[in-house]
Structure 1
């Protein structure tokens, strides 16, 4: 099996795709028979995307952007999604302000005890917990420049696999500690060690940033009922920055996807990965699986419906399963932005791309940039996957969740 991953907007390091090899091979690679192997092909195009020459100084510094609002991810998505009845509360612990809002004097919040987290949800919980604590600490040091941990911190792309590894030895880790805060800190340290190996965390080691563990865990019980403040906190500068980068990357791709009648550099990278996979398929019969996130879906659609048809090396290309998540392929089709797209309107639909045997699209109702495909395309299955995150982080939250990769594997 060849697994191809094409990232979305706002990714500026090839390490993002490299780190995602861990969860891809852990879950999708497990579907390969003993007589075959799994190959992984990340397609990086972030270095060819938007380059803001004035560093987004064009954004107005209004009261909305200049005052209040948090820059970071500070939530436990799984706990918010589950609701207040998901876990039995532990004794009350002291907690700080929730999502940037001032807490009443002497306020306390009951945290869900770690022992109450169901075994089958521990991996997702650890991924959420790691992001919440890690990002809060990062924001305290870089308050004006940190937005999306999955896109901005490449190492976090391997979080799903790391969280699953630690979840498998959860009991052994927590048994060594005497308090909830110490257990939480130990779990975070174990996840970070899985991500970093022997390397120290760039912020000075575990002892600094994991000190937030007890406080963030204490906030968890309040999060499910705090949707309004979650939206207010997460939407402010974070969404503004994301939209600017999203629009910038889209414009950059559309402007340069074809040059002199030939594929531009971004399509050439996608086509090169498809050619290597196609050649392996012709030699060994290996299946081809592609996951595209966000704008990556538009890159693949253009590649298989337009550019590949002009390249003899890709004659007979077949993709066994195409997974999209947080995708805008249907939106682009509605606007007729694809190369060579037929001039059709509803209720007629566009066909699934020739050579794509199966297409599954995952979307989150909280993801403002994730669209459904079935109303526009024939032969695609839409699957509602809830990350549990607020609006600002639902878009990349799929890639942090172990259960998302398990869902992909179940569809193969």
Structure 2
């Protein structure tokens, strides 16, 4: 009953896996086994084989500023708050304008003597659903991409496990009906205080040592939540009208490492001397191990979760590599979730081993039934590096998922949400009813 995770581009540490492993065990393992603690959960780490920039990224131009604004729906409170938090380092360079004087009607005098605008206050946390509150806390707990440094497995395991405990505690608190009772009727500022204390108490209950010596961190989390809600509420139009992010440096790193990792994979795969390449060979070895575990556990399902470029690796395997070798032709991935997927785009570009020009508009790529049961393809409207596979690959269960993140961080936002793993569990439960078969 194995679960295998395959990461995507720009990954140089296993910390991400160690952070999601408890979420997989909590929300996915119970769907495939009566004894979720026994489920074998593993990852295929190939980041050490990715691109290495020999001038340390000197080819990436440096920055100018860009911005983005939002509407006023309750869902936008979550989105605005997360985006403001993502860009807090940039916003520190641009202090919000001084508050204008209120008149007797509670209106703020707009700059330049223009028509007054209604005074805005920090939105209450009770404006969010429990799921949105969970996602907001998860987004604040997750480190910024630039803060994740390459570390050894031991340190990565410790960091990832600590992150997972915090995310689970935050999710439990957000979804506990007692939390809404505790927050009801309080000012937004006091709601933040109460929420942080509830998460802190829950974390300490799960691990008495987890909350010790982290006073600065808890205070920092409170300040980030305060600021994210305050600035995200668009005081005097600040978060909408001024620049929110220095996008260029972050996107430079993401895109250059994305392109680099893709080229490294394709070069090794397509070189006759190394075909199908070290990265693909490593994945096949992991699938062999997972398949053996599956057979040991009375043929319980094999589940694979991929992120980003990991999806291309798996598609090459299930659509070509596994079937081409007698030693692997019987391996079957029962359920595959491709998050932040680019499989549809790569097939449009005919970059897969099994790509064939006869498959085009009106003639989708056939589903690889021999080596794959069910495929859930997930992408985010805000994730510029994710793509739909609808009408391109037959049989794909293709859906959008909103992480609430901006284009800076949406690419990794899927796996920072307990809500995503709950949905993954539901999808597996439904697939189980059809014996993991795609029509």
TM range (shorter): 0.7 to 0.9
CA RMSD of aligned residues (A): 4.1
CA shift at 1:163, angstroms?
A: 2.9
1:370 and 2:386 equivalent?
A: yes
Distance 1:49-1:174 versus aligned 2 partners, 3 A rule: farther
CA shift at 1:99, angstroms?
A: 8.3
Instruction: Give me the whole-angstrom Cα distance separating, in 1, the residues matched to 2:148 and 2:78.
Output: 28
Of 281, 298, 318, the match for 1:268: 281
Secondary structure of the structure 2 residue equivalent to 1:83:
helix
Q: Structure 1: which 5+ residue stretches go unaligned?
A: 87-94, 136-145
Q: Which residue does 1:114 correspond to in 2? A: 125
Q: Which residue does 1:278 correspond to in 2? A: 291
Of 291, 303, 322, the match for 1:308: 322
Q: Which residue does 1:295 correspond to in 2? A: 309
Contact 1:10 1:46 in 2 (8 A): yes
Q: Structure 2: which 5+ residue stretches go unaligned?
A: 80-87, 101-118, 429-439
1:26 and 2:19 equivalent?
A: no
Q: Which residue does 1:141 correspond to in 2? A: none
CA shift at 1:179, angstroms?
A: 2.9
Instruction: Give me the whole-angstrom Cα distance separating, in 2, the residues matched to 1:373 and 1:358.
Output: 14
Instruction: Give me the whole-angstrom Cα distance separating, in 2, the residues matched to 1:351 and 1:298.
Output: 16
Instruction: Give me the whole-angstrom Cα distance separating, in 1, the residues matched to 2:207 and 2:241.
Output: 31
Instruction: Give me the whole-angstrom Cα distance separating, in 2, the residues matched to 1:48 and 1:203.
Output: 38
Instruction: Give me the whole-angstrom Cα distance separating, in 1, the residues matched to 2:128 and 2:380.
Output: 23
CA shift at 1:44, angstroms?
A: 0.6
Distance 1:18-1:299 versus aligned 2 partners, 3 A rule: same
CA shift at 1:125, angstroms?
A: 2.6
Q: Which residue does 1:165 correspond to in 2? A: 172
CA shift at 1:408, angstroms?
A: 0.9
Deviations 1:234-262 (A, max 9, x none): 63322122111111111111112356254
Deviations 1:203-233 (A, max 9, x none): 964445644332223223239x888669852
Map 1:111-260 to 2 at 5 A: 111-131=122-142, 135=144, 147=146, 155=160, 158=164, 160-167=167-174, 171=178, 179-186=190-197, 189=200, 198=210, 205-208=217-220, 210-222=222-234, 233=245, 235-257=247-269, 260=273
Q: So what's the TM-score if we normalise by structure 1?
A: 0.78
Instruction: Give me the whole-angstrom Cα distance separating, in 2, the residues matched to 1:39 and 1:365.
Output: 33
Q: So what's the TM-score if we normalise by structure 2?
A: 0.74
Deviations 1:116-175 (A, max 9, x none): 4433443223213434xx65xxxxxxxxxx547799996387365343234356847996
Q: Which residue does 1:38 correspond to in 2? A: 39
Instruction: Give me the whole-angstrom Cα distance separating, in 1, the residues matched to 2:78 and 2:262.
Output: 42
Secondary structure of the structure 1 residue equivalent to 2:331:
coil
How many equivalent residue pairs?
Answer: 383
Q: Which residue does 2:401 correspond to in 1? A: 385
Of 328, 341, 346, the match for 1:332: 346
Instruction: Give me the whole-angstrom Cα distance separating, in 1, the residues matched to 2:182 and 2:50.
Output: 47
CA shift at 1:104, angstroms?
A: 2.0
Q: Which residue does 1:404 correspond to in 2? A: 420
Secondary structure of the structure 2 residue equivalent to 1:233:
coil
Contact 2:379 2:399 in 1 (8 A): yes
Deviations 1:48-67 (A, max 9, x none): 10111111111233xxx1x5
